[in-house]
């Protein structure tokens, strides 16, 4: 293990820069933090390149890794393992109460950008997210989606960055178990999904929208979840097969985007 004590060390500066999207994109790398996420990344065979352990928590971290069966993964020749002084670790951590371990990971090859969705791109169950910009909401949606069997996420280009620390934290490792397709032309993506035989429903309370139980939910249906504040655009809504809503009591305006997505996906999971 290499030891680093200077906050100006090039490796520390590189890791710290990954807190910003522009540097993540420049280096095509991101950080995962905490014992659970690092172990998930290692055990799933993700392209982990660096592991950083804080000096003061090294013993506790190694014990936790051993309990999870991940300690041997640090012996890979392709992996650089560093012990950082607490000051250096603090520089790269984005947690309020860091556990003492962070991994640097290359961008995932199952996260792609394309405006041409083919049959092989989309699995048995997919979810479409339009302008979901809050990282915490996006991470929570990912966690629920994977729990209810979604294997493909389709996201608009202006949605929150999947590699954002808050997305990773809220998704709790589920992000590593789902394919993600980012599209610039949302309407075109919906039309392509429909051409592939998928029913696509806008999740919104709009004129002529149907309650979820009225559409005969199928496992192959794709729900479109919109922006937390503005919902879906009229153009995107018009491209769908129709609109669906979740019946709630009078006087309550709407559900949070992540909650609405979870309920819709549970209904789909239950009816499949």
Q: How confident is the model at residue 223 (pLDDT cuts 50, 70, 90)?
A: very high
Does residue 182 share a domain with residue 75? no
Q: Cβ(4)–Cβ(83) under 8 Å?
A: yes
135 and 41 in a common domain: no
Over residues 49-94, the pLDDT tens digits come to 999 999 999 999 999 999 999 999 998 878 999 999 999 999 999 9
- The answer to whether residues 99 and 210 belong to one domain is no
Q: Which of 106, 126, 142 is the last residue of a domain?
A: 106
Same-domain status, 90 and 196: no
Look up the domain containing 137 and give its range: 111-271
Q: What is the model's pTM?
A: 0.93
Same domain, 69 and 184: no
CB burial readout 166-202, b (16+ within 10 A) else e:
bbbbbbbbbbbebbbbbbeebeebbebbeeeebbbbb
Q: What is the CATH number of the domain that holds 227?
A: 3.40.1280.10
d(CA 267, CA 75): 44
Structural domains of the chain, count: 2
Residue ending a domain, among 106, 129, 156, is 106
The pLDDT score that the predictor gives to residue 100 is: 96
107 Cβ partners below 8 Å, 6+ apart?
A: 24, 28, 29, 30, 163
Residue 271 pLDDT exceeds 90: no
CATH of the domain at 59: 3.30.1330.30
- Both 168 and 46 in a single domain? no
- 86 and 123 part of one domain: no
d(C-alpha 136, C-alpha 228), whole Å: 12
């Amino acid at each position: 293990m290499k030891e680093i004590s200077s906050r100006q060390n090039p490796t520390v500066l590189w890791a710290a820069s990954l807190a910003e999207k522009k540097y993540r994109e420049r280096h095509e790398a991101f950080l995962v933090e905490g014992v659970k996420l690092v172990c998930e990344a290692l055990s799933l065979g993700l392209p982990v390149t660096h592991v950083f352990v804080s000096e003061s928590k090294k013993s506790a971290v190694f014990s936790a890794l051993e309990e999870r069966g991940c300690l041997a993964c640090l012996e890979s020749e392709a992996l650089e393992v560093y012990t950082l002084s607490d000051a250096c670790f603090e520089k790269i951590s984005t947690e309020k109460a860091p556990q003492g371990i962070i991994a640097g990971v290359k961008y995932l090859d199952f996260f792609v950008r394309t405006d041409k969705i083919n049959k092989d791109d989309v699995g048995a169950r997919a979810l479409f997210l339009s302008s979901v910009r809050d990282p915490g909401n996006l991470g929570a949606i990912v966690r629920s989606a994977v729990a209810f069997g979604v294997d493909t996420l389709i996201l608009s280009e202006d949605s929150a960055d999947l590699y954002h620390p808050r997305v990773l934290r809220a998704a709790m490792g589920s992000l590593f178990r789902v394919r993600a397709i980012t599209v610039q032309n949302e309407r075109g993506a919906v039309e392509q999904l429909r051409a592939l035989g998928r029913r696509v429903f806008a999740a919104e309370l709009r004129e002529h929208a149907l309650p979820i139980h009225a559409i005969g939910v199928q496992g192959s249906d794709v729900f479109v979840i919109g922006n937390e504040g503005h919902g879906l655009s009229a153009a995107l809504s018009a491209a769908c097969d129709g609109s669906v809503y979740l019946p709630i009591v009078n006087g309550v305006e709407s559900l949070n985007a992540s909650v609405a997505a979870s309920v819709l996906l549970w209904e789909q999971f239950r009816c499949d």
